[in-house]
Amino acid sequence: MRLELRTTIVDDVHWSGATRLAGGVLEIERDELRTLILEDAAFEDVTLDIVRPGDSVRIIHAMDAAEPSWKSDPGSTFPTFVGPPRTVGEGVTHRLSGVAVVTASNAVAGEPTYWREAVVDMTGPGAALTAFGATTNLVLTFTPHPSYLDASRPDAAIENIMVGSSLAQRYNRSVRVAELKTAAYLARTVADRQADEIKTYELTSAPAGLPRVVYFYQLSGATVYGEAMDGMLPTLIHPNEVLDGAIVNVRSNVHASNRTSTYANQHHGLIEELYARHGRDLDFRGVIVYPAASDDVNEKELLAEYAVKLARLLGADAACASYAGGGHPAVEFMLICRKCERAGIRTVLVMPEIYGTPDDPGFVYFVPEAERIVSTGRTTQVVDLPAVDRVIGGDAFFDVPGVPAEAQRLLYRYLLGCGTSAGNGRLTARTY
Amino acid sequence: MTKLRVVHYVNQFFAGIGGEDRASEPPGVRAGVVGPGQVLQRALGASAEVVATVYCGDDFFAEHEEDAAATVVGLIGRHQPDLVVAGPAFNAGRYGFACGRICRAVEDILEIPAVTGMYPDNPAVELYRPSLYIVVSGPNAVSMPATLERMAGLGLKRARGERLGQPGDEGYLARGMRFTEVASQSAAERAVDMLLASVRGEAWQTEWPLPDYDRVSPPTPIKDIRRATIALVTSGGIVPKGNPDRIESTYATKWKKYSLAGVAALTPDGWQSIHGGYDTTRANEDPNRVLPVDVLRELEAEGAIGRLLDQYWVFVGSGASTTNARRFAEQMADELRDSSVEGVIFTAT
């Protein structure tokens, strides 16, 4: 599979009478975009804001983010969300870099808010910790249709607190569809334009003797081609598919720091790094995706067995594995490490530290084989953020005391994407 | 800039009073530097002054620890120091325990920083390492100058409220505290570097060392279960409806005890789970699924157990730190012991 990513660099974003790219400036016709988004009856209204790096702005209630992307044949733009269910990861994809579409909304009936708060600061130390502090963001703040706020509806009942009511799940999906439609709408403007950068991704055959590396990608709150993987066995995916819109975040109930947004999948740190060294330092054999949150010990064992079996089929002798966060997912994650090591596959684990206090050893679960760990930071440490002039996305935090516009002492946990185990960020933790 | 005031603590030997024969010397104080204090003063330089040296015999301190610590801290406090330097104690056990105890008391009572130095095998290290900055010394006084140099450097940084470097760089024993920092490379770059180094047989270092947990040995079996009083303890977050004591759903800082007197079985109207780490739907439908009061009452009625204790203990395991969990366990274990139960059924989720 050969993917050609054609990137147009966007210097700024403005409202305009027509949606187009003009001299490095992305111009957007606001009403046309509003109409496109409000095609979905899930929304009563949407507010559109453009915020830039350095602006005194705090986005709260962030749900997901995506980079504008458009794909002509073969393939499909964000398959099953925007385009038809076709395999992506090959052909040509147009991207706008320097821009992100960020979605935000209040919670709807039956949507748990404990894990929901996600903050993006455009200025100060918070901005430096997330990709979205360096992009010009088109923020879509949705007002749900009143029917989505009716807690007495049968489908507003919470069957499972981790995912919320079926109503909340539908709403979250609608938000992603609107986000990705917007991302496609914006990137389509450059479909006929000469790109600023062209980068090709292909797993060409690597010289013999290089370590054969696979990546175990633990998903949480994400779909693969629109399918939640809950209850499924691990499966193979080509790294190009991940970079090309096959994996979409659909659930906001993952701590913001660890939430691997759709944007973070499009720029997946570990996949980019393994690709960068493919053929030179290593032989990148592929990606094994698997769901988190099975709570049955036999299922965990089976899942780990099956994932490692796939790695062996790929001839792996080394692996990177990332952890989605949470309690249960730690078990299958560590079991994969153990079974890999026992099968002679060296593993490096990439994981956030999610425990409460600095003096805690910090593992939900571990195996003695987990000798090589890269930390993406202790998410329960606080960071001081300045007061801001403007807050977008909502009026009050979920489950966090304080007024959003004021100076905040917030846990890293609330900063969108700062410690994702996709490895995009630079956070770590050290022992003192 | 005014000079920082430093008080140095040493034992009777380093105070020049005498060896083992004078180990029963009670606490005392001398103005300015004594013995190794000269080396300390040189290491501190011009910005700080050793204003007093407080001493105590090692045996005296060990035999009257409470009183000796109070006296020593009183003598130290009188000199209004900005920093206390204790030792180094090298591999001397009694001296090490005295330095550790005094540094702890200084930080807790006087609320000023303290620094000590010990050889890593000193028996006091295990007790004080998590809560004190202990500079690594050699086993004996040969390492005195180098150790005091590092103790002075670390002490000055602490007294000035400066950020400390990594344990290996600063020369102190890691306390096991994990702090988030920004690295120079992305996690992805670091991961692939570590993997390749490992595969190539080159040096690599984990960023997150695995912990070394206590092992708990099982107690002896209950002699006669038919006469035994059995208690229930749960980490599953089952509380009276409404969570009257506001136990946290995750990262819990407290536990509670509730009465089961007259309760034949838990009902969804009266009880709920407030646990933030699992799907509590089934637990809320029937709280006995997590805290099996119904079954234990049946066993009690059948005579299969002596009786169910009329109270249970509850906390939430979700993300609770092991420090808090250890404290919960110690406090609950004390109460369980006092309530003369012979067995405990611990339900987790």
Q: What is the pLDDT of residue A293?
A: 63
* Residues in chain B, total: 349
Picking from A56, A182, A377, the residue whose alpha carbon sits closest to that of residue B183 is: A377
pLDDT tens-digit map of A233-284: 999 999 999 999 999 999 888 899 999 999 999 999 999 999 999 999 999 9
Q: What per-residue confidence (pLDDT) applies to B1?
A: 64
According to DSSP, the β-strands at A283-291 and A212-219 are: parallel
Count of positions (residues) in chain A: 432
Residue ranges, chain B, pLDDT below 70: 1
Q: Which two tokens stand for residue A352?
A: 């956030």
For residue B217 the two structure tokens come to: 């040995």
CB contact under 8 A, B179 and A430: yes
The beta-carbon neighbor of A431 closest among B178, B213, B319 is B178
CB of A350 within 8 Å of a chain B CB? The answer is yes
Q: pLDDT per residue over A296-328, tens digit each?
A: 899 999 999 999 999 999 999 999 999 988 888
Q: Model ipTM?
A: 0.96
CA distance B170 to chain A (A): 10
User: Residue A13: what pLDDT?
Assistant: 98
Angle, nearest 10°, between helix axes A269-276 and B187-199? 50
Q: Are residues A357 and B189, on separate chains, in Cβ contact within 8 Å? A: no
Window 52-111 of A, Cβ < 8 Å to B: none
Quote the pTM value.
0.83
pLDDT given at position B216: 80
* Candidates A242, A272, A275, A348, partner chain B, best to mutate (most B CBs within 10 A): A348
* Whether B250 contacts B316, CB under 8 Å: yes
CB contact under 8 A, A358 and B324: no
B-chain residues within 8 Å CB-CB of A372? 194-195, 198, 204, 206
Q: Which of residues 173-192 of A touch B (CB under 8 A)?
A: none
* Alpha helical stretches, state H, A64-133: none
Is B181 within 8 Å of A348 when comparing Cβ atoms? no
Nearest CA distance, B320 vs chain A (angstrom)? 6
In tens, the pLDDT along A156-176 reads 998 787 789 999 999 999 999
Q: Kindly give the parts of chain A with pLDDT less than 50.
A: none
Q: To which H or E segment does residue A239 belong?
A: helix A239-243
Contact residues on chain A for B194, CB-CB shorter than 8 A = 348, 372, 374
CB distance A355–B319 less than 8 Å? Answer: yes
- Percent of chain A scoring above 70 in pLDDT: 100
What pLDDT, on a 0 to 100 scale, did the predictor assign at position B326?
Answer: 81
CB contact under 8 A, A368 and B210: yes
Contact B23, B58 (CB under 8 A): yes
Judge contact between A76 and A84, C-beta under 8 A. Answer: yes
Which residues, in sequence order, are bridge partners of residue A215? A287, A320
Judged on CB neighbours under 10 Å (0-12, 13-18, 19+), A167 is buried
| pLDDT attached to residue B268 | 96
pLDDT at A158: 87
Contact criterion met (CB below 8 Å) for A103 and A178: yes
